[in-house]
């Protein structure tokens, strides 16, 4: 087993990327007889755009599954990884891989969603406090301003800050987890570049408003 120990973190990272590559917005829409979310609204294969189809149930299922595919690989690495040489560095890498799979899914020609739900799943698995603070931030901003994109951007900016002043202040702070969280935040902001432009112009779609 020792001779193979170096390969286990690599295999876990690849597996996490493949799980992340499952685009549940497309899978759920197809299974429920809905239009492909890449053909309407923002054309983003994510829960918010699925909601624009008019099916709240499909959007909720998509949201939960997208979050689950970020949460599960990290938790499996934390639960079972130590005997196979998977420490915090592997946990951070696995989370980033699952998130990257959502953004660049190998099963869907590397055209994926923006990764908000998947990132939240990763953060919750990494640290319950970090996930709770980030999720609460999204909910508050979305509730008061009615912009999913703005809520995602604010939560993305604050997530690394929450880690630094929350879990990061504790004895188990790991710079690799901070780095992976910061990279996810930057990627989220990058994927929302068009939303930022629309927010500035005042043309961004609000939550609850259908978009053709």
What integer best gives the mean pLDDT of the chain? Answer: 90
The CA-based dihedral angle spanning residues 25, 28, 30, 35, taken in that order and rounded to the nearest 10 degrees: -50
Q: What's residue 173's pLDDT?
A: 58
Does 170 score more than 80 pLDDT? no
Closest-CA residue to 16 (of 71, 58, 57): 71
Residue 212, pLDDT > 70, answer: no
Q: Is the pLDDT of residue 104 over 80?
A: yes
Nearest to 77 by CA among 16, 31, 33: 16
Tens digit of pLDDT for each residue in 144-165? 999 999 999 999 999 999 998 8
CB neighbours of 24 closer than 8 A, spacing ≥ 6?
61, 62, 65, 66, 69
Whether pTM > 0.75 for this model: the answer is yes
Tokens read off for 21: 């590559």
Min mean pLDDT across 54-68, 80-94, 147-161, 168-182 is at: 168-182
pLDDT given for residue 87 in this prediction: 84
CA–CA separation, 49 and 41 (whole Å) = 6
Tell me the pLDDT tens digit for each residue of 4-62: 667 889 999 999 999 999 999 999 999 999 999 999 888 889 998 898 888 899 999 99
Gap between the Cα atoms of 189 and 174, Å rounded? 23
- Please report which confidence band the pLDDT of residue 171 belongs to, taking 50, 70 and 90 as the band edges: very low
In SS3 terms, the chain reads as CHHHCCHHHHHHHHHHHHHHCCCHHHHHHHHCCCCCHHHCCCCCCCHHHHHCCCCHHHHHHHHHHHHHHHHHHHHHHHHHCHHHCCCHHHHHHHHHHHHHHHHCCHHHCCCCCCCHHHHHHHHHHHCHHHHHHHHHHHHHHHHHHCCHHHHHHHHHHHHHHHHHHCHHHCCCCCHHHHHHHHHHHHHHHHHCHHHHHHHHHCCCCCCCCCCC
pLDDT level of residue 208 (50, 70, 90 thresholds): low
Residues belonging to the chain: 212
Q: Is the dihedral of CA 183, 185, 189, 192 positive or negative?
A: positive
């Amino acid at each position: 087993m020792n001779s193979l120990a170096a390969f286990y973190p690599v295999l876990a990272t690849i597996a996490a990327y493949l799980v992340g590559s499952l685009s549940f917005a497309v899978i759920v829409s197809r299974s429920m007889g809905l239009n492909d979310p890449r053909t309407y609204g923002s054309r983003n294969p994510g829960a918010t755009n699925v909601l624009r189809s008019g099916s709240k149930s499909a959007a909720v299922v998509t949201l939960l599954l997208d979050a689950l595919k970020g949460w599960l690989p990290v938790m499996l690495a934390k639960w079972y990884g130590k005997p196979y040489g998977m420490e915090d560095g592997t946990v951070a890498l696995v989370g980033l891989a699952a998130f990257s799979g959502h953004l660049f899914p190998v099963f869907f020609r590397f055209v994926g969603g923006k990764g908000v739900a998947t990132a939240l799943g990763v953060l919750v698995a990494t640290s319950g406090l970090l996930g709770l603070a980030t999720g609460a931030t999204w909910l508050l901003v979305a509730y008061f301003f009615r912009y999913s994109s703005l809520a995602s951007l604010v939560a993305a900016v604050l997530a690394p800050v929450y880690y630094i002043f929350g879990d990061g202040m504790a004895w188990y702070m790991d710079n690799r987890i901070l780095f992976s969280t910061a990279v996810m935040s930057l990627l989220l902001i990058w994927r929302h570049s068009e939303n930022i432009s629309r927010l500035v112009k005042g043309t961004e779609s609000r939550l609850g408003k259908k978009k053709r």
